[in-house]
Amino acid sequence: MLVLGIDPGPAVTGFGAVEKRRGRLYLVDAGFIRTSSKDPMAHRLAAIYDGLERAITEVRPDAVAIESIFKHKSAESALRLGHARGVALLAATRCGYEPAEYNPMTIKRTVGAHGRADKKAVARMVGMLLGSLPDGPADVTDALAIAITHHHHARVLAARSIAR
């Protein structure tokens, strides 16, 4: 199964594709979309949408997973993050996917870090699971952690949907 993880953000949105073959995880693709704080928010959101649509179309994953909002330092930063998340959800949906959502604590625990782990600890664990890390900002590593999380939780989600 090939999963595209998305770590949405108004300044940097990371994405990463992880495939599971014969019980092992492999890095397939990763990248990020950077926007400028000098641009109007509408233009930044359009750039995020276009970049994610391109990534989803090129990777053609079996599933898409996105980080959900857990809590934020300020209402303003949460609102900006919510805009980016909304655009990520829209891009995935428009490309034909029903994205799974995971909160940061679940992601950290799934990759083997503790719930309050910092980005360096998560990156270390992701590097161990994949054998290497791509260049780029921490948002890329976070996106890979989201994809790994979906690999670990996909069977549970499938069982729940069958039970309904």
**Is 62 in the active site?**
no
How does 17-53 read in b/e, with b if 16+ C-beta sit within 10 Å? bbbbeeeebebbbbbbbbbeeeeeeeebbebbbebbb
Neighbours of 15 (CB within 10 A): 30
Catalytic residue among 19, 98, 139, 142: 139
Answer yes or no: 142 catalytic.
Answer: no
Name residue 94's amino acid: R
Query: Which of 39, 67, 98, 101 is the catalytic position?
Result: 67
Q: Is 19 a catalytic residue?
A: no
Q: Which helix (H) or strand (E) holds 2?
A: strand 2-7
Active-site residues: which are they?
A: 7, 67, 139
